[in-house]
Structure 1
Amino acid sequence: MPANATSPSTSAPSPIHAVVADDFAAVNHTIIDQLASRIPLVETIGQYIIESGGKRLRPLLVLLATRALDYQGDKHITLATLIEFMHTSTLLHDDVVDESHMRRGKATANDAWGNAPSVLVGDFLYSRSFQMMVEIGSMRIMEVLSSATCTIAEGEVQQLTNVGNPDISEADYFETIQGKTAMLFEAASHCGAILSAATPEQEQALAAYGRYLGLAFQLIDDLLDYQGDAKAMGKNVGDDLAEGKPTLPLIQAMAAGTPEQAKLIRRAIRKGGLDHLDEVLAIIDATSALQYTREKAEEMADKALAELEHLPESPFRDAMADLAKLAVERET
């Protein structure tokens, strides 16, 4: 790394992070080490996106899952790091596909350096993550993560094909977010269980916990796009509508609204942009579409909490329960 490199920054530490503080610090150091490249631009862009202030939820899941199962080795640090690299790679690629200019209140890498460097550095991070998988030496973990990678890519393609299509059903929507978001949450907690030599019941429970947690987080993300604070979120209210993405608030507003209201939203999705934002927001409010979306997120969080009953009591299990609650209580 360059001489002035620093440990990757994250949001202010939370009580959830505190129970694995030493592990989290080790992950941050490993991130720095694994970003090393003979090509300076790779390090520059990699460090820029890693330091952009994310919650690091996916590596956190690895750490909590392994500690909840009393894992005593050190490979969980490598596993958590490679999961973060996989996630970061998808962010770099997503911002290029979505032509995004801002993420978490900062210019996106593609905005700062261009599309080609962003895509190629994303490829580097994916490749580095597979090198780390080999270091861990578990064929089952490689199987889960390689399969997850394919599912995530399919989810992204599915979301792309959904753009501008107002006929997407709620079931279609859930299939999309399961692939593009929940899959990596699921893989993180599932691989943590595998690394810890969990029982089949615990392994299944942790995979399901991650899946439901990821769904809850994405549902709240889609809700906040229509009611969140732009400064706090680091993106603009209505970005999904501007891109023509038919997320659950719009799907439910069309289902619960009048034919005229549904027609307006359909037109807004097809057209993209923000010409009809105020009208769409009014319809979303009138149809209680955000409350419906929140209830779905709470349902997913409750399912995640139920899966934790298969784990022994510990501060780590408690932190995982708090994380499920945070998924639906957060405002950013």
Structure 2
Amino acid sequence: MLTILDRYILKRYLATFSVMLLLFIPIGIMVNFAEQNGKMSANNAPVNEILIYYMHFTVYIGSLLFPIFLFLSVIYFTSKLANDTEIVAILSSGVSYNRFLRPYIIGATLVAILMFVMGMFLVPKASVGFNEFKYKYLKKGKQDRVTNNIYNQLNETDFIYISSFEPARQNGKNFTFERFDEENNLKFKIAASNIRWVEKDSLYRLTSYRKRTIVGDSAILESKRRLDTLFTFKIDDLTPVSYVAETKNLFQLNKFIDEQKRKGASNINTYILVKYKRWALPLTAFILTIIAVAVSSVKRRGGMGVNLAFGILVAFVFVFFDKVFGTLAEQSGFSPLLAVIIPNVLFSALAFYLLQNAKR
């Protein structure tokens, strides 16, 4: 049962957070539009696609900034309570500090649920439109996927390699397809200087086709200038777009990661990192809320400005740690799980320390 105190603080918590979103997201849209307007005009982006892009932009960017907005909003309204000596009055009336924290935890729980639903289901949909527009009009000509030295394990027996791939033309160079038996012996190998997907005929066209089939201790050689054939893979699946994990919801992402592990994808850590970050994001709502309350619940000589300055510093440090460990996981053999756990453990320890000081 919520008391008057709970409702009062919870109302301030949610209202300040909402106002922060409503103020800063439109500013972000205007800044982005001012920066990208020239590219949109140069690449003839239709008005309806621009409007849809900014709908996706709002969801995509808003979800990324949720923790920062939450942190700063809690610092803002809690500092105001402290400066107006409302917190002193609450604690002097016999309310313990832990009891004072309860409406903050309730608020963090509501925001965490919102962040979870958005991160697992709404943001992936927004990510598709956001990134497709970005690479179509804002980064036109730049590749949104790996296009060189593509290696893929299709299943337990089939392997392919392409030295370079052009997504726009659905064309690959120096194609190799190998099939092994259960004892890991080569059954046959197909090589071609070029592989191209012919959409109108729904088939693959191989140029300078060569096939070597192993039969016992001998090999049967076959070659053709051109061969139209079928394979079980889709040519776009050979090299997924770099943001593919962001476009998958909770269930799709788990299935996608399992498929990529089976194929031996070289950038599997990137996909796993996206998964763990989604699960960790709601946890940050609690960590940052506790830090914000512990910092701003004490009335300071410098007033609200000191608390906000400290909050901005902590926010930047949090983002820095998140990016550093994320980059380590993507670019090296560092564990994606540790990359997500370490920043949260460090800031959990900071939250505990600041909370103990605030109680004293």
- Indicate the structure (1 or 2) with the bigger Cα radius of gyration: 2
TM-score tier after normalising by the smaller chain length: under 0.3
- When you count strand as a share of all residues, which structure comes out higher? 2
- When you count helix as a share of all residues, which structure comes out higher? 1
